[in-house]
A and B are shown apart, each in its own frame.
Chain A
Amino acid sequence: MISPWLPVLIPLLAACVLGFIPSHRIAAAVNLAASALTFLIALGLRPHDTGLWLAPDRLGIHFTWLTSFIALCAAWMSGPYIAVEIQAERLTPARARLYHALFQAFVAFLLIGLLADNTGLTWIAIEAATLSSVVVVGITGTPKAVEASWRFFIICGVGIALALFGTIVLYLAASQPLGEGFPAMSWRRMATSAAQCNALILNLAFVFLLLGYGTKAALSPLHTWMPGAHAEGPTPVSAVLSGSLLNVAICVILRTRKILAANPGVIAPNNILLALGLLSVLLASISLWRRSDTKRFFAFSTIEQSGLAVFAFGIGAPLAGLLHLTLHTMAKASLYQCLGHAAQRKGGQSFADIQGLIASDRPLGLSLAASIIAVAALPPFGLIVSLFMILSATAATQPWLALPLLIGIATAAAALIHRLQTLCLGPATPNQIGKLAPLNLVPILTPLLLTIIIGLIMPAPVAAWFRDLAAEVSP
């Protein structure tokens, strides 16, 4: 069995090393190697419940695999992406060095957040991940990038403060049955003894944790930092941000929900999740129609999908929610990679700049079209399965909610297909640099292929894993 510290220490160490490598080509190679190593080692993780700080459960391990896989894809993309940015003088070599170091630090903190069995450590990890991503978003130093990261920082700073207050109150609630000290900060221990906690204190803790980490999960109305951060940050980071920071926050919300659900006297957390999820879906799907910037557009799509997953947890369909989060993270990672390469080739990231991609760069254009279809939850990609599961669970338990949900999903899918037509089809806008090397299609196509395998084909071990996961998450 592998110590949970190992997959955390590799990116931390890599971050330190990358801070001293001046050549961006060598740095990109080291970044890729470190990410691959982290992913391979993370595959050896197994659940165990001993350990004061890190004690991975299935939920944590699942998202560690996912996060390190997405980070591997994004690191693969970073090499060619950063090279073009330096050539175009949008990034100085010194800033590229900072970028590589922060990329690994960001991944390390995300993994700590997922594997920690200590509420304080979880909070510290998410705080540190936020700080490193704030710097990465503003790394180009252009006024717009600075604005975006300032807004990101202010909103998430407030979120982090609220989450810490929630953490303190949660400790206060748990310290009655569990006694003072470390046991009262363990997610696992709290879930088992939540019934003896004071319900009012638990309520207070839940409200603050939901508001705090909900900011990170980009739930409406706390999502306003996300579109700017996605639009202005380097695209490989958008790919990681879009899935992973969000997933970590949702993991924490799920753990809190489990604690609350074990106590009969508290407010029903599911109804709140339901309402926030539905609000996110509806707001984001309407906002999608008003965007002119591609990366901002797909950030709103992420908000919609995140809302959909939270809605699924609220409705009592954790299996569908977890499957949806997983598949969406993969599809979005492919999409952002295509978009980043396309924006570099067309010299701009608005819908006016990127048009007719299939005509100018056939493999890249087709990949982009495929990933948009995947994100819109259309066949043959796996998201159709999780979407169908969410809809049927809604129809079975809360039929009157199925209508607004369906309207939201259809509105968003229509917006995605509308944009697919202008982005990929029709006459092409001129290319500024050459076509994408075929090797760089590997990290784009692999996640897409995986969404088909996991979602549509779903081999027996995968299905069993997801069932166990859902059982662990549900109270």
Chain B
Amino acid sequence: MTDFGQLNYDMAHLLEGVALLFSFVLLYQRRVEAVINTYTAQAVTVAAACFWQSHVQHSLDLFATGVVTLAVKAIGFPIALHRIAGQLHPHRETNFGVFPSLGLGLFLTCLALLVVMPIPAGAALTRETLAMSLSVLLLGLAIMTTRSSALSQTIGFLSVENGLALAAIGVPGMPIVVELSVAFLVLIAFIIFGIFFFRIREQFESLELHHLDRITEAPE
């Protein structure tokens, strides 16, 4: 397709890099409102990457995916998340702290690079894309595991999905079905998440997941 130093290549990787940067911000940010805004920015970046790839690959399918991404992930989800956050009055939550979080993020990014970079460049034109999207995915998983509130974990999950979207659009010629259904299924997943929020709130008066630990059965 393209090589380093060409606009197609540089632009695509710039957008992927920006998305990865937002993942780092998500990892250490503590205020819930800011976390939602960062997620929105990441979703917009993914949509932009989608439009860029549709331009490069001359693919109408990818353009449609971009529109769906923009409408659902960059506009729909954030509105709902802000509404949930407003209803719950969540406090600042604790996580690892800025430096340990960034260290963890750096470690995971290096891991992704080490895993993907041995692939010869000729064999896979998209190996850098793969490395970036794997980093975003791993950072999303890290957000899910280091956060205690269900709302932040949800945003971690959505950020994992952003990483997947980056991978799917970066692989040339991948049939549309997957992207569209991903967008669609995440929508369903999100609705279910929403139902959960309300049920959990009714019953535990808090989104903190450690209230849910009662499920672990006590030994006899």
A residues apposed to B, CB below 8 Å = 120-121, 123-124, 127-128, 131, 134-135, 138, 141, 143-144, 146-151, 153-154, 157-158, 161, 164-165, 167-169, 171-172, 175-176, 180-182, 185, 198, 200-201, 204, 227-228, 290-293, 296
Q: Which residue of B lies closest to A352 (CB)?
A: B220
Counting chain B CB atoms within 10 Å of each CB, the highest count among A153, A154, A167 belongs to A154
Q: How far is the CB of A136 from chain B (nearest CB, A)?
A: 12
B153-184 contacts to A, CB under 8 A, are 153, 157, 160-161, 163-164, 167-168, 171-175, 177-178, 181-182
Q: How far is the CB of B136 from chain A (nearest CB, A)?
A: 10
Complex Cα–Cα for A143 and B206 (A): 13
- B126 an interface residue at 8 Å Cβ cutoff? yes
By a CB distance below 8 angstroms, the chain A residues around B200 are 146, 150
Q: How far is the CB of B167 from chain A (nearest CB, A)?
A: 5
Q: Name the contact of B137 in the complex, choosing from A121, A134, A165, A227 (C-beta under 8 A).
A: A165
- Please state if A134 and B192 are interface contacts (CB–CB under 8 Å): yes
Q: Name the contact of B160 in the complex, choosing from A127, A161, A181, A201 (C-beta under 8 A).
A: A161
Instruction: A131-B192, A143-B204 are known; give 17 further A-B pairs, CB within 8 A.
Output: A124-B177, A131-B185, A147-B212, A147-B214, A157-B157, A161-B137, A165-B163, A168-B171, A168-B174, A169-B167, A176-B123, A180-B172, A181-B173, A182-B175, A200-B123, A204-B115, A292-B220
By a CB distance below 8 angstroms, the chain A residues around B124 are 172, 176, 198, 201
> What are 8 A-B pairs at a CB distance below 8 A?
A131-B188, A146-B196, A147-B215, A150-B212, A168-B174, A172-B124, A172-B171, A180-B172
What's the dominant secondary structure at chain B's contact region? Answer: helix
- Please state if B185 and A180 are interface contacts (CB–CB under 8 Å): no
Complex Cα–Cα for A228 and B214 (A): 11
Q: How far is the CB of B38 from chain A (nearest CB, A)?
A: 19
- Please state if B219 and A158 are interface contacts (CB–CB under 8 Å): no
Q: Name the contact of A201 in the complex, choosing from B123, B199, B219 (C-beta under 8 A).
A: B123
Q: Which residue of B lies closest to A185 (CB)?
A: B175
- Please state if A161 and B157 are interface contacts (CB–CB under 8 Å): yes
By a CB distance below 8 angstroms, the chain A residues around B161 are 161
- Please state if A296 and B116 are interface contacts (CB–CB under 8 Å): no
- Please state if B167 and A143 are interface contacts (CB–CB under 8 Å): no
Q: How far is the CB of A142 from chain B (nearest CB, A)?
A: 9
B residues apposed to A, CB below 8 Å = 115-116, 118-120, 123-124, 126, 130, 133-134, 137, 141, 144, 150, 153, 157, 160-161, 163-164, 167-168, 171-175, 177-178, 181-182, 185, 188-189, 192-193, 196, 199-200, 203-204, 212, 214-215, 217, 219-220
Complex Cα–Cα for A143 and B144 (A): 22
Q: Name the contact of B118 in the complex, choosing from A138, A176, A200 (C-beta under 8 A).
A: A200
Complex Cα–Cα for A7 and B120 (A): 44
Q: Which residue of B lies closest to A128 (CB)?
A: B185
- Please state if B160 and A293 are interface contacts (CB–CB under 8 Å): no
Q: Name the contact of B130 in the complex, choosing from A121, A131, A135, A169 (C-beta under 8 A).
A: A169
Known: A157-B189, A204-B116. A120 touches B178 (CB 8 A): yes
Q: Name the contact of A121 in the complex, choosing from B163, B177, B220 (C-beta under 8 A).
A: B177
By a CB distance below 8 angstroms, the chain B residues around A168 are 164, 167-168, 171, 174, 178
Q: Name the contact of A120 in the complex, choosing from B160, B177, B212 (C-beta under 8 A).
A: B177
Complex Cα–Cα for A228 and B160 (A): 25
Complex Cα–Cα for A296 and B216 (A): 11
By a CB distance below 8 angstroms, the chain B residues around A128 are 185
Q: How far is the CB of A301 from chain B (nearest CB, A)?
A: 15
- Please state if B175 and A181 are interface contacts (CB–CB under 8 Å): yes
- Please state if B185 and A127 are interface contacts (CB–CB under 8 Å): yes
